[in-house]
Amino acid sequence: ELCYTNILTILDLANIPIQAEKRSDLKWPIILGGGSCSVNPEPVADLFDAILVGDGEEALPEIAGLIKDWRETGNDKNEILVALSRIDGVYVPGFYRPKYQADGSFAALEPERPEAGLIKRRIVSDLEKAPFPSRPLVPYTQIVHDRMGIEIARGCTRGCRFCQAGITYRPVRERSPQKILSLLEQALATSGWEELSLLSLSTGDYGCLLPLLSTLMDRYMPENVAVSLPSLRVGTLNPEIMKQIQRVRKTGFTLAPEAGSERLRRVINKGITEHDLIDTAAQAYNLGWSNIKLYFMTGLPTETMADVLEIAALAKRVLASSRKRGKKVTVSVGTFVPKPHTPFQWERQLNIRESRDRLELLKSNLKGRDIHYKWHDPLQSFLEGVFSRGDRRLTGVLYRAWKMGARLDAWNDYLMPDLYKKAALEENVELEKYIEAIDTKAPLPWGHILTGVSNEYLLEEREKARKKIYTPDCRHGECQTCEVCDFKHIQPVVYEKENAHTSSLTQSFNHQTTQSLNHQITYHLAFSKLGDARFLGHLEMVHAFHRAARRAHIPVAYSQGFHPKPRFSFGQPIPLGTESLAEQFAVTLTEHMKPDRLKNLLSKEMPQGITISSAKLSGPKTSFGITEIVKYLIFVPGVTESQVKGSIEKLNSTPKWPVSRIRKKKQITTDLKQVVESLQSITKKDLEDGQIIPCPWPEDVKDEETPYFYLTLRSIARFNLKPAEVIGSIMGLSEEMMKSLRILKLVLSE
């Protein structure tokens, strides 16, 4: 919900009208939505032409086929919207109109066309047949989840009463371990990722987790591919699983009790005892984990201040279970947000002041050197609560706040809550109303979206919460009659570990890899970095080489130790934004390979703009010293020949030229005259004649009129001065102008 302003920004940057009603012209694309917020899309419904509710693997090809056919033959946008509305799970917001009471509260969402009915969530019945990307897109810049993620199961029926995903992704559908291994084998080979993650709402509940985990560890640890898991549920962890996880890393171990007291955990149907939690934490500490992370919520229904204080008390008991010095516990606390389609969808949410008071109470009770306390901003929780249970009146609030500058609200340093207050005032909308309790008989803005779980079941679970009655998981027990399954097409799919022994799973793989420590050969390679590749930083470029080598199945040697690294060694980094014809690196392999074959295999897997130009055998100790002289060709857009020549003459006639810049928060001053070996002006004709070097730049950079700088610098590393800073100083360029320079590093001389 806190990403909603991003939708407006994306449409605006693409020069696409934000409101769907303004996109009736056929020149505009069809704007589709989906994902977890689609179970109550009303606050942003007016922005979308259509929204898919539920699983997309089967529905998206149907949608794409319809749109393709319509683009070829249709001449009316309404025609495609009607066709889309007939696809199961597709909601066309423009076919409905909201009605409100005199006091502004939601009254109904009325269909305006025969096609507009209730929207049933789309459910994929069998993950075995669901398509999975065997050649995933791999970013060259760093991202948050920079790993190969595979969904081992979809859905969770643990029945936590606050959890929206536990309702909207039912029933549980597991992938077979054989299918998981097969998909991973393909995806890792074509992506080059060095980490894989087993994803699920409750990974610890996966029926074949232990044999799957053991097989993956045995298969990929020799190739230095890490296996990671999301936080695991207390009760699903046993010593065998913990020992397998221990083989990967022991940085942090996350557990989610959600509530501090056993009474409140029974209310929310968490189903874990304090004994379970303490026992699991003690095992983790004993197996070598140094930090246990605990996640809680405050503001859950029926919570008292005693329950809040139990969070602090429980955290201290977890820490005490370590019985060793140096162990730590991290306590993260967020504010409960009632979500649509959950048993708690009718409950009130703490207001900002109440939330802050409880978080401050915890802060005062969670002091200590070995306790780290983190909390979620109550302002963000408030906005999340407003938009979670909101209606279409919030679209105007969102738009006004965005127009005033609201962006990236999920980041604390960008959140500007005052903009939402002002926007709500201008729209005559009272935001606090959206976090109040809702009468169970009142119409709901999301009432037209059917997840498959009946409203009667949600009300029964709400009543059970009041009575602290536990509802067991139907994965292995009796059906709880939530009504999501028809037991013909839709039903739980669970694989038992008895059918997946480690030895049989190992046969799913094509080969095993072990590294030779005795037979290692080093190669020296040269490469160019041109065009858009100049925007890759040095570390990003190094990462791109590592993954390219994996995709090319090149047997790279690894360093020894706790964190093995591929044995690549690069020359002096060039500044971000600089192109180069003269970069070099060394790589050590565990098998002999012809240099030309190594060059060709690696070149095929590199990002556009990076080309391996040569490869040769090298000594075992290849090092790249500081380059004393480096030559650059520099294009400054929009300057005249007289300006270029005038700046060169000014530099040459000045005895000293101090330049100041900030490095690591310190100001450094250097005399430019000590750094610049020579500076000349050359023309496009000089480049075309090859007097300097044939220029690889496109024609738009080879300007007929604008001259180029031909710059020779002394030891860029020693003086820590970038070529852009040199030209920026002598030309008097602004920071923005310096970013527009085109800089090419030429063949260097040692």
Cα 557 to its chain centre, rounded Å, is 30
Looking at residue 625, its pLDDT comes to: 61
Question: Which residue carries 């075995």 as its tokens?
Answer: 128
Over residues 433-453, the pLDDT tens digits come to 999 999 999 999 999 999 999
For residue 208, the cross-strand partners are: none
DSSP 8-state assignment for residue 414: T
Region 708-733: mean pLDDT is: 83
Please state, rounded to an integer, the average pLDDT across all residues of the chain: 90
- The answer to whether 518 and 551 are in contact (CB under 8 A) is no
The three state secondary structure string of 241-261 is HHHHHHCCCCCCEEEEEECCC
Q: Which of 352, 345, 324 is nearest to 390 (CA)?
A: 345
Look at residue 698 in the predicted model and tell me its pLDDT: 63
Integer Cα distance of 743 and 579 in angstroms: 6
Q: What is the DSSP letter of 525?
A: E
List pLDDT tens digits, range 290-319: 899 999 999 999 999 999 999 999 999 999
Q: What one-character DSSP code corresponds to residue 54?
A: B
pLDDT, tens digit (0-9, with 9 covering 90-100), for 38-67:
999 999 999 999 999 999 999 999 999 999
User: From CA 628, how far away is CA 716, in angstroms rounded?
Assistant: 8
Contact 90, 137 (CB under 8 A): no
Residue where the block lists tokens 């495609």: 80
State how far the Cα of 77 lies from the Cα of 70, in Å rounded to an integer.
9
Residue 750 pLDDT:
42
Query: Quick one: CA dihedral 656, 662, 663, 668, positive or negative?
Result: positive
Classified as helix, coil or strand, 269 is coil
Contact between 294 and 253 under an 8 Å Cβ cutoff? The reply is no
The 10s digit of each residue's pLDDT in 320-351 is 998 788 899 999 999 999 999 999 999 999 99
Question: Which amino acid, residue 299?
Answer: G
Structure tokens at 269: 């149907």
Tens digits of residue pLDDT in 352-402: 999 999 999 999 999 988 999 999 999 999 999 999 999 999 999 999 999
Burial 208-241 (b: 16+ CB within 10 A, else e): bbbbbbbbbbbbbeeebbbbebeebbbbbbeeeb
Q: What is the per-residue pLDDT across 180-239, written as a single tens digit (0 to 9) for each?
A: 999 999 999 999 999 999 999 998 899 999 999 999 999 998 888 988 887 677 877 777
Distance of CA 332 to the CA centre of its chain: 20
Q: Please report which residue ranges of 228-304 form alpha helices under DSSP H.
A: 239-246, 262-267, 274-286
For the segment 617-628, what is each residue's pLDDT rounded down to a tens digit?
Answer: 987 666 666 667
| Beta carbons of 149 and 196 less than 8 angstroms apart | yes
pLDDT band with cut points at 50, 70 and 90 for residue 19: very high
CA quadruple 716, 719, 722, 723: dihedral sign: negative
Residue 423: φ, ψ to 5°: -65, -40
pLDDT for res 638: 82
Range 407-426 average pLDDT? 95
Can you list the domains of the chain with their CATH numbers?
4-120 (no CATH), 521-618 (3.30.70.580), 629-745 (3.30.70)
Task: Provide the 3-class DSSP secondary structure of residue 538.
Answer: helix
Q: How many residues does the chain have?
A: 750
Q: Based on C-alpha coordinates, what's the Rg of the chain? A: 31
- For residue 717, the surrounding DSSP H or E stretch is helix 716-719
110: helix, strand or coil: strand
Query: pLDDT (tens digit, 9 = 90+) per residue, 236-285?
Result: 777 788 778 777 655 567 889 999 999 999 999 998 899 999 999 998 88
Confidence at residue 749, expressed as pLDDT on a 0 to 100 scale = 45
Q: What is the pLDDT of residues 108-158, one digit of tens each?
A: 999 999 888 999 999 999 999 999 988 999 988 888 888 999 999 999 999
CA quadruple 504, 506, 510, 516: dihedral sign: negative
- Cβ neighbour number for residue 377 with a 10 Å cutoff: 17
Task: Decide: 500 and 208 in contact? Cβ < 8 Å.
Answer: yes
**What local confidence, expressed as pLDDT, does residue 507 receive?**
62
- Judge whether residue 503 has pLDDT over 80: no
Q: Are 694 and 581 in contact (CB under 8 A)?
A: no
